[in-house]
Amino acid sequence: MTRGGREDMKDGPERRCIVTGETGPKAGLVRFVVSPDGLVVPDILGRLPGRGIWVSADRAAITKAGAKNLFSRAARQPVKAPEGLADLVADLLLRRVTDLLAMARKAGEAVTGYEKVKDWLVSGRAAVLIQAEDGSERGKTKLRPPAGEESLISCLSAGELGLAFGRERAIHAALAAGGLTTRVVEEAARLAGVRTRGEQFGGQPAGKDM
């Protein structure tokens, strides 16, 4: 998966990152706004009022924007970026991804469990394979993602994936083609770029699906 968004979104609205200076699709950046009291606020859904300040969905870029006072320069006024801004963005994106997965599950567009996921992959119904990053490597190699780019999501822990399916943990999941799946892929790509991979998952494999 790409770190900052889908390549097929090139024809969509584009914005300029205040850190890299590069212009790219909105799906690959994070929008920030300045609150009335001068605090930088992540706008994950892109709905908050105010002039948007855009940063690539990349942990280093967001950290640099805060450390180098780039938000103030972009806002043309003194503003304050909260401590741990990249962690805050990662938390918000994680919530967004799990919420979308829960919606896909309720709509019948997502399943979990090794056998169900395998059936979807074999039948061709699965458009995207999701595998917990802390799942055993041996178990994960038994399932192959569908053909095509961005057909694998691997930035979630077993606990996080399980949360979306109302379980203690989940190692494997699959998504059918559809609008919700497109949104999950885009938000997961942003999450993968912003979070520190592996840092929050601990050192032990999560085991099998429950």
C-alpha–C-alpha distance, residues 123 and 142, integer Å = 16
172 and 129 Cβ atoms separated by less than 8 Å? yes
> What digits encode the pLDDT tens for the residues 114-145?
999 999 999 999 999 999 999 988 888 999 99
Of the chain, the percentage scoring pLDDT greater than 90 comes to 82
> What digits encode the pLDDT tens for the residues 68-80?
999 999 999 999 9
Clarify whether residues 153 and 182 are in a common domain. Answer: yes
Q: How many domains is the chain built from?
A: 2
Clarify whether residues 30 and 52 are in a common domain. Answer: yes
Average pLDDT, the chain: 90
Residue 165 lies in a domain: yes
Residue 201 lies in a domain: no
Clarify whether residues 100 and 44 are in a common domain. Answer: no
Clarify whether residues 119 and 72 are in a common domain. Answer: no
Name the residue among 143, 141, 151 with its Cα closest to residue 121. Answer: 143
Clarify whether residues 188 and 93 are in a common domain. Answer: yes
Angle at 2 between CA 4 and CA 172, to 5 degrees: 115
Residue 154 lies in a domain: yes
Q: What is the CATH number of the domain that holds 47?
A: 3.30.1230.10
Largest CA distance in the chain: 56
Q: Of 69, 85, 101, which one is at a domain's C-terminal end?
A: 85
Query: Does pLDDT of 10 surpass 90?
Result: no
Angle at 208 between CA 186 and CA 167, to 5 degrees: 60
Residue 179 lies in a domain: yes
Residue 202 lies in a domain: no
pTM higher than 0.75 = yes
Residue 60 lies in a domain: yes
Task: Read off the pLDDT of each residue in 180-206 and give the average, rounded to a whole number.
Answer: 77
Q: What is the CATH number of the domain that holds 103?
A: 3.30.1330.30
pLDDT of residue 21: 97
Clarify whether residues 34 and 80 are in a common domain. Answer: yes
Buried b (16+ CB within 10 A) or exposed e, 62-89: bbbbbeeebbbebbeeebebeeebbbbb
Residue 145 lies in a domain: yes
> What digits encode the pLDDT tens for the residues 160-192?
999 999 999 999 999 999 999 999 999 999 999
Clarify whether residues 189 and 113 are in a common domain. Answer: yes
Clarify whether residues 116 and 80 are in a common domain. Answer: no
C-alpha–C-alpha distance, residues 109 and 180, integer Å = 8
Clarify whether residues 34 and 113 are in a common domain. Answer: no
> What digits encode the pLDDT tens for the residues 36-78?
999 999 999 999 999 999 999 999 999 999 999 999 999 999 9
Residue 206 lies in a domain: no
Residues of the domain holding 102: 89-194
**Could you say which DSSP state residue 39 is in?**
B
